[in-house]
Amino acid sequence: MLITEPEKTKEIIGAISKYEKISSNLISIIQTHISRVFITPGFVYKQKKPVNFRFVDYSSLEKRKFFARKELSLNRRTCSGIYLDLVELRQKNEDIFIGFKGGALKDVFVRMRHVDGERFLNNILDSFNKNDVKNYKFNKLDVLKRVARRIYLFHKNAKSSKRISSFGKTEVYRENWEDNLLSVKKLVSGFKDFNEAEWVNEAKSAAGVDVNSLAGILEYMEKSYDEFLQSRLFNEFVNFRIKNGFIKDLHGDLRMEHVAVIDEGRINGVCLMDCVEFNEKFRNQDLYLDIAFLLMDFEFNGFFYESVLFFNYYKGFFNYKSDIEEYEKYEPFIIPFFKTYRSIVRTKISFLSNRFKEGLQHLNLALFYIEFLKKPVVILNIGLSGSGKTILSDLLANYFYSQNIKSDRLRQEMFGFTDKIFKYGRNASKMVYDNMFQEGVKRFNEGKNVIFDATFLKREHREKFIDYFKKKDCHFIIIYSKIYGDKEKVILRRLEKRKEGGQKISGLKKGTDDVGGKFEKEYSEADISVYLNQKRVFEEPEPQFKNLSSFQNQKDAANISFITVDASLELNERFNYVFEKISGIKAL
């Protein structure tokens, strides 16, 4: 009889304890929907469960042995020295033991070296939220760069062939999508039958998801995804990628908990663990689809800032002309599309593991990607000089592939190096805002996302933009970077630093504000004196948007969000907070 039942767990622990000559109290267990992992101080033993889902079949001992060998060989590509060997679980009479002869073979384990939990990327990033970064052993940006380079090298050298390329065809995308969505639909329809109370309670606590609307949400997503699969844009992208060899034998499950920084001093010290061995159609795929899993996982855990930086680091290692430039025009559609698919995969896995709230949050994230893929984004970014609104706009533009229209740039182009009193005066400001509006409307009507970056000191400066875009079918987001009185000293220090060269977003390319992850140079000449003058005449936007819900009642009105963010926070905190409000995704 196969040794996987709960009552046999103690005997397996006993076998491992005897094999390693350690106390059984030192052994812990982690379970997933398809495996059971026994962890000792020195090693990890991974056992495959005898399951048969639509996407994985471990139902027989022979199949588990086959896939265990496959797991060992595949993961050694990116984890040298971690994946050690296979060990056998045997039984002789009543004695269950680990060995290679004697008794009957009952199961096999993949044996790995134990990696400390603090070395995994999810725990590294979490630590920066809990500890003083300066005192921590890792530097966040260095970690992101090293991981990006490790994945780049793996992707660059991964195997490709005519057969592997066939997995990049549109029909394979369709098959994978339909399989995952069908599984989610079946799981959702069956929840109430076996665990209604727990299911409903978990569903109510999942941000942004109405359990009573789940069937409609899934139908909407199915229709949206199907439309994109049929689009000329997607099929053009797919054909280019197949032709140019971007479909390779990759990882298939790139998530933070599968990335370990074992030796931060070496590129090969970054280990990419636990790739998909059980189904090659989930591993043979486009480079962007592989990396999209990690981007989605960053964002699911509230690390939108880290996601943007990481993706730019990753792309920066490629030859821009041959590997990136031709495909950048597809990114605004392809990347959200791939992240949607990855979110649905994790929805299915969470539901299979009875983690209902987590599954619903993944579904909510998938809906967020779909919504922002289908409608243009318009952002009105408000804040006094020194509030950090411009660098926030740069990062938002990078994420949304937005056109970024900056009052400082237009002011410089229109008035050059004229006197500051005139340049920042009422008449000049009106001309600047009129030009911003005209340029933004033009770009919006071309189907582009738009960000308006300005102080918007007066209510009248904002009303023209609001009156126009609140009637448009778009996601209209108003962000106010607020300077609280007790934190003004942070802003004053920031303005002083501007004289020394300004703030940079590490990892993003300098250049124009065109689509493609670039950002502009610092145009603002505002110093402390300008800030104090602005402060004196500033009309707070919060009262203006107090009754924002009234906008929602208008026919064909935009989906309007008003977000107040503390301007004194660090950039990553502000950016992640904005996306927490936009997406409904909170760091777990």
The DSSP output letter for 112 is E
Q: Which fold has domain 375-583?
A: Rossmann fold (3.40.50)
Q: Classify 159 as helix, strand or coil.
A: coil
CB 71 within 8 A of CB 277: yes
Other beta carbons less than 10 A from residue 27's beta carbon: 19
Domains 121-372 and 375-583 share a fold: no
What's the confidence (pLDDT) of residue 242?
97
Q: Domain residue spans in the chain?
A: 6-114, 121-372, 375-583
Distance, CA of 203 to CA of 361 (rounded, Å): 9
Strands 450-454, 377-382: pairing kind = parallel
Distance, CA of 161 to CA of 247 (rounded, Å): 8
Q: Classify 468 as helix, strand or coil.
A: helix
Locate 434 and state its tokens: 């009129």
- Which residues, 6 or more positions from 320, have their beta carbon under 8 angstroms from its beta carbon? none
- Which residues, 6 or more positions from 398, have their beta carbon under 8 angstroms from its beta carbon? 308, 312, 505, 508, 517, 519
Q: What angle do CA 419, 420, 421 make, to 5 degrees?
A: 95
CB 105 within 8 A of CB 99: no
CB 58 within 8 A of CB 49: yes
CB 245 within 8 A of CB 224: no
- Which residues, 6 or more positions from 153, have their beta carbon under 8 angstroms from its beta carbon? 267, 317
For residue 281, give Cα distances in angstroms to 210, 275, 285, 310, 336.
Answer: 33, 12, 7, 26, 21
For residue 286, give Cα distances in angstroms to 67, 150, 173, 419, 478.
Answer: 23, 17, 10, 54, 36
Beta strands (DSSP E) in 537-588 are 559-566
CB 184 within 8 A of CB 349: no
Locate 500 and state its tokens: 């020394």
Domain 121-372 has CATH 3.90.1200: yes
Q: Classify 263 as helix, strand or coil.
A: coil
Secondary structure (DSSP) of 374-436? HS-EEEEEE--TTSSHHHHHHHHHHHHT-EEEEHHHHHHHHHTT--HHHHTSHHHHHHHHHHH
pLDDT tens string, the chain, 588 residues long: the values are 344 455 578 889 999 999 999 999 999 999 888 999 999 999 999 999 999 988 899 999 999 999 999 999 999 999 989 999 999 999 999 899 999 888 999 999 999 999 999 999 999 999 887 655 543 567 888 999 999 999 999 999 999 999 999 999 999 999 999 999 999 998 887 765 545 555 556 655 554 555 667 888 899 999 999 999 999 999 999 999 999 999 999 999 999 999 999 987 777 899 999 999 999 999 999 999 999 999 999 999 999 999 999 999 999 999 999 999 999 999 999 999 999 999 999 999 998 888 888 998 999 999 999 999 989 999 999 999 999 999 999 999 999 999 889 998 898 888 876 666 667 777 888 899 999 999 999 999 999 999 999 999 999 999 999 999 999 999 999 999 999 999 999 999 999 887 666 555 544 544 333 333 445 555 566 788 889 989 999 999 987 776 654 444 444 445 788 999 999 999 999 999 999 999 875 443
Going by C-alpha positions, the residue among 317, 335, 318, 303 that lies closest to residue 140 is 303
The DSSP output letter for 25 is G
